Structure 1
Amino acid sequence: MLSMVIKEHQGHFPEIVDAASECMQLVFGIDVKEVNPRTHTYVLVTTLGLTYDGMVGDGHRFPNTGLLVAVLWLIATEGDCASEEEIWKALHVRGVHDWKEHCIYGEPRELLTKVWVQEQYLDYRQVPNSQPARYEFLWGPRAHAETTKLKVLDFLLRVYKRVPNSIPSLSEEAMSGEEEGT
């Protein structure tokens, strides 16, 4: 990469890698880890240690773990249970729309309500006694087993370069949940 892509900007390599890493974290849910600083060797790992590789696509395979982390974040910020309306409203800001094919994430409704439910990262259930029927999302058992609210909070704060106090209710809740082992 140094000799072929950024020949005349090799002195800016650390900044370029940092910027590319941030984009990969946010969009794809992939962390770039340096394994050998002397030779600038890196490895790509899924964010937060999630075991789901998050690959989708028709012929082209793209990781979608970044979107999963965003949905887990939304659920955590909504008090561990987020209405379907709130999820779609928040994802709309990211350019992800209900029933509209996305170039990276594929068909988002199927991804959220079928794939991630089958993978047990999300629970998707009808709100009791709702007429007409309304639905909500919760963290699934696999999400609870593989990560924590604190790790999700830390990840998104790193990506968005905020301090934990910028979201005090969630950071306090995540901290107390960590202490209790949830």
Structure 2
Amino acid sequence: MSHRQKHERGFEAQEENKGQFREEVSVAKEVGTPEEVPPAEVCQETCSSSVPIQATPPRKASEGSGDQAEGGQSTSKAYLYSKYLIKSKLRKKVTDLVKFLSFKYTKNEPVTEEEILKNIIKECKAYYSVIFKHACECMEVVFGIEVKEVDAFNHSYMLLKVLDLTYDGRLSGDEGIPKTGLLVLILGMIFMEGNRAPEKKIWEVLNVVGIFPDQHDFVCGNPRKLITEDLVSEKYLEYQLVPGSDPPCYEFLWGPRAHAETSKMKVLQFFSKVAGSSPTSFTALYKEALKDEEERAQALLASMAIATAPVNSGSGGKRSSFAHPE
């Protein structure tokens, strides 16, 4: 069995979650460039109450006369429409909250539940947990930003880059959207493709979630430049010609900075969390990630041993090994 075949199960699991990622990206595209929005302007819409959702389900036609059946159909349409309105308005709230959280990230400021309720949720307080959950998923999956609780009593949160990566795709002084999520997605695809992913495969997956090489995108600006130039120059990716390919084609590998700042296990844990499963469910990938962890630990021990080893002076320790000027 080839190395690529051994990773098929893991990649199939990733394929199953493209729908979720596509949904999160569509929300992200509605956010726009994060900017401070006066609380009064953040959301003017009033969410419907939960009453329509609790409306009595339509009666079957067989339960009454023709008039009752007709009334049942009318009730059914009203019921479905009320559910649609609720979903639409809650989605708008999720979009507003993602924009608010993105702004907080660019300012490196914490955010509290009280702020969110006052500035964003407002009349939809009954749906706070649902809105907050989906907004956090969008921040993590699309932007690579984790909403981490730092004060359980006051429900205060910090916005942190996932996987301890030091780069978020923004230029110095740029207050745009972080691009860590895209980088993590690409690193994960490379890992799942056997540690080297054909450029064609990368774009196939990105196309599914609405990112195209030559189409300016809200999340990543110029996608082709970001992936083949910026992330390569930042040493997170390697972009190289496949030897002997005709016509010429390229592939991506992890760059030295990716190896230094994260690991296969961390990337697998992130993807497993997004997929709602355990890292061990990706059997071949988990074994490879474990082996990588062992090799990293051995390399660290070896470097520590070298650093703490006594220096051999060469003359019984009586002369300094540094040359003195004549």
Q: Do Structure 1 and Structure 2 share a fold, with TM-score over 0.5?
A: yes
How much has 1:10 moved relative to structure 2? 3.8
Residue aligning to 2:137 = 22
Counterpart mapping for 1:22-61 below 5 A: 22-55=137-170, 61=176
Note the residue ranges of structure 1 that are not aligned, 5 or more in a row: none
Question: Secondary structure of 1:4's match?
Answer: helix
In 2, the alpha carbon distance for the partners of 1:95 and 1:53 equals 20
What secondary structure does 1:6 align onto?
helix
SS at match of 1:105: coil
**For the structure 1 residues 93 and 99, does the alpha-carbon distance in structure 2 shift closer, same or farther, using more than 3 Å as the test?**
same
Q: C-alpha displacement at 1:11, in angstroms?
A: 5.6
Q: How far 1:9 sits from its partner (Å)?
A: 4.5
What displacement does 1:12 show? 4.9
Question: What is the letter of the counterpart of residue 127 of structure 1?
Answer: V
Between Structure 1 and Structure 2, whose CA radius of gyration is higher?
A: 2
**Cα distance in 1 for residues equivalent to 2:218 and 2:117:** 29
Task: Tell me by how many angstroms 1:177 deviates.
Answer: 1.3
The one-character-per-residue Cα deviations of 1:69-124 (angstroms, maximum 9, x if unpaired) are 00000000011100111111111111111222112111111011100000000000
- Aligned-partner residue type, residue 266 of structure 2: K
| Deviation digits for residues 19-49 of structure 1 (CA, Å, limit 9, x no counterpart) | 2111101110101111111111111111111
Question: Unaligned regions of 5+ residues in structure 2, if any?
Answer: 1-115, 298-326
Q: Which residue of 2 aligns with 1:71?
A: 186
Partner of 1:94: 209
DSSP-derived class of the 1:62 partner: coil
Whole-angstrom distance in 2 between the partners of 1:176 and 1:135:
27
Shift of 1:181: 1.3
- Aligned pairs (5 A) from 1:22-171: 22-55=137-170, 61-171=176-286
Conserved? CA contact 2:269–2:278, under 8 Å: no
TM-score (norm 1): 0.91
Count, aligned residues: 180
Shift of 1:167: 2.2
Q: Secondary structure of 1:42's partner?
A: strand
* Partner residue, 1:3: 118
What is the CA RMSD across the aligned residues, in angstroms? Answer: 1.8
**Are 2:265 and 2:286, in contact at CA under 8 Å, matched by a contact in 1?**
yes
Output one character per residue of 1:57-78: Cα deviation in whole Å (capped at 9) or x when no partner: xx86111110000000000001
Identity %: 47
Per the normalisation by structure 2, the TM-score is: 0.52
Deviates more, 1:86-95 or 1:118-127: 86-95
Distance 1:97 1:28 in 2: 17
Q: For residues 9 and 37 of structure 1, what CA distance do their matches in structure 2 show? A: 22
